[in-house]
Structure 1
């Protein structure tokens, strides 16, 4: 029987020391699962269905597409784009208000305090902080305000807005290699530190001077072991058999 590969797991003190000793000039963070637990993209979709922001027709279409995605019949890239395009025709102001209430009531409590502390310390040391996510810009821009990250340092799934109305024209969907491509478009090709939780962050982690898998999914644990990337779990999601 082949033994599964594992990666060293950093304590909070070891994790902080590794980041601070690196003294990164540029640090890049994924958001869902990395800065807070859970998937804000899919839960925002559910929230807008629950609150009636989406029409029944749009809800039925998106639900069918999401079921296909969960079965592996729709790609990550496609579903991330469609989860923003589905709001075409709505006012951007509505989306901003919904995202504000959603994040306050459903996600804010799941922020990892260790990550908020880390970013605050890096900012005090002059690190240029960027957030990259395949979740929509309304939710991510709202969420990263809690970390002091401005909207012009957020790269995420978004569509064009015309005269205040959301369209279905995608302008970016950063996932997998797309995260690397989005960073390159703003001139970041070799960040000092990258933080991510999913295998969809692996391409972005691979371009860093040092990669920091945070709260990694099973697939990213395997990739981290192969790449010799030590992993870190914030206290609230740390496996019970670990110190």
Structure 2
């Protein structure tokens, strides 16, 4: 069985997880604005508890986005440092897919999940997934995108029933689609590492220099946003 470490810093949460066969251990903290201080220590604490090291891993997985621009950069930096230093391949995993996977098999949720994260600027990152089995990758019905909530509501209005997860469901146009939604759901390394194991078995591991975060919104847009928010 592959030994995989996963890390996610794409939202207000910071999490790490380790998977080796049936052994799954994770740590999860709400750590808004302190990912830089917590990410590496959480990795070190988890590996120390396991009595293993990065060099003994088969792969490192991470929440590749979409999500917080700063958080994704922090996560990518940590993954690059670990992977380059130990010569370990990496597995990027969609944060929206991970959220769908994590919710699909609990509390009779059903297999269709619309994950949505608040992207600010009046938009949401979102993706609609169908999850058929805990040992199969979710199928993207609508690929990860960034749109205004009104546009999302129009695009999925005729879709069969689904439930919603994530901070994007604070927006009225989404909330009106179904009363089966949970706002306080975050991407988690626990879900990412399980999806990463499936990707690893499918031969999807990559060299770290070939991987970049998935921003969906480009850096120019983020710089414009910063200028708008910064007082003159």
TM-score, normalised to structure 2, is 0.29
Which structure features the higher share of strand residues?
2
TM-score, normalised to structure 1, is 0.28
Structure number with greater CO (CA < 8 Å, separation at least 6) is 1
